[in-house]
Amino acid sequence: MTAPRRILALSGGGLRGIIEVAFLEAIEAEYRRRHGPGQICDWFDLIGGTSTGALIATALALGKPLSEIRDFYLVRARNFFSDRRWWKYGLAPVFDCAGLERELRRDVGALRLGDPDFRTHLAIVTKRLDTGAPWIVSNIPTSPYFNDGPDGQWIGNRHFEVARLLRAASAAPTLFSHQELEIARGQPPGVFVDGGLSVYNDPSLALLRLARLRAFGLNWPLGPENLFILSLGTGRLRARVPLHRVRNTSAFMHAVRSLLGVSADGDQISLTMMEWMGISPNPSRIDSEIGTLAQEHLAGDPLFTFLRLDLSLETDDLRSLGHDPARISLNSLRAIDRPEAIGPLYELAKTHIRRHVDLENWLI
């Protein structure tokens, strides 16, 4: 029997990426139980991520041990997320962009996307602000822009420095500054920001495009037994704003909340479409109108197996996992930029996995 193609999609969410790390540790342990020694990159044919998910995806594709990725969040993230300059909020980046790039280069140095160090296919999601287009930049050698364009029309993706791509992918407005990348020699650079500002905060649909569209050259076979797509989240929460707060909020904060809402809407669209096209061993509740899509398939038959794993950040769910509000507030747990929340989120995610996640039966 031919092994299925596997895709791993890692959502954005700042320091809440530690939730994905907890899931990945359990996933790696399950695959090792089945197949013996190995790492995530040995079992997934394409790993892609948005924002913090792009950082994790890159480390996984390079074969970095999960212990190093965990330490990046638990220890090293404080190097660029602790110096909070509130007086700059809305005027300039709140956090140290140079510190972030230094930490990224500790791991990838001057590595380029086309270098042979990668052990599997990698995709990084970012948003090109000056053209308004999402960019899914991959090391797939058959993709259209991997090599240089004729007569120097563009610089091939293979030449992009990975550290600069990751800075671009994680350039969340108000938190970090944008990143400029040279696209064509002698032309103005492209301006890039966090990929979570596109519809691909959950990059599942973007990665499915890479796997199936003729342009990218992979054309992996369909079927629940042939294609498995695993999507990991960084915590889900339905954002609610009381009326009195809406009425007393500045126009700037309305804009920030609206951007966050667009990202959440994109996650919901991705989840709906993936579970509608595929089949899930653990169907999600889409909303109060639809319920689950366990018995509905857009194409008549499911095109692939899809599994979404996430941690609910709703008050009652966190309380059931042992959240202690005296130790850390709900607001800190739900924020994407609070170093003090990393450890508690990691422990909550591990408890959730132990109690509610059946990887033995859900993973393909």
Tokens 């020699």 correspond to what residue? 185
Q: Rounded CA gap, 179 and 165, in Å?
A: 8
Amino acid identity, position 171: A
Tokens 């991959």 correspond to what residue? 138
For residue 42, count other CB atoms closer than 10 A to its CB. 15
Nearest to 167 by CA among 186, 200, 144, 193: 193
Beta-bridge partners for 308:
231
CA distances from 210 to 6, 12, 278 (A): 13, 19, 17
Q: Rounded CA gap, 147 and 142, in Å?
A: 9
- 169, 147 in Cβ contact below 8 A? no
For residue 67, count other CB atoms closer than 10 A to its CB. 9
Phi, psi of 10, deg, nearest 5: -115, 120
- 23, 362 in Cβ contact below 8 A? no
- 294, 283 in Cβ contact below 8 A? yes
Phi, psi of 363, deg, nearest 5: -80, 145
- 301, 279 in Cβ contact below 8 A? no
Which of the residues 107, 194, 202, 337 is marked catalytic? Answer: 194
Which of the residues 51, 143, 280, 312 is marked catalytic? Answer: 51
Amino acid identity, position 216: F
Q: Rounded CA gap, 14 and 125, in Å?
A: 14
Residue 265 annotated as catalytic:
no
Tokens 């990991």 correspond to what residue? 232
Q: Rounded CA gap, 123 and 355, in Å?
A: 32
Longest Cα separation, the chain: 63
Residue 267 annotated as catalytic:
no
Amino acid identity, position 258: S
Amino acid identity, position 28: E
Q: Rounded CA gap, 108 and 339, in Å?
A: 23
Catalytically active residues are: 51, 194
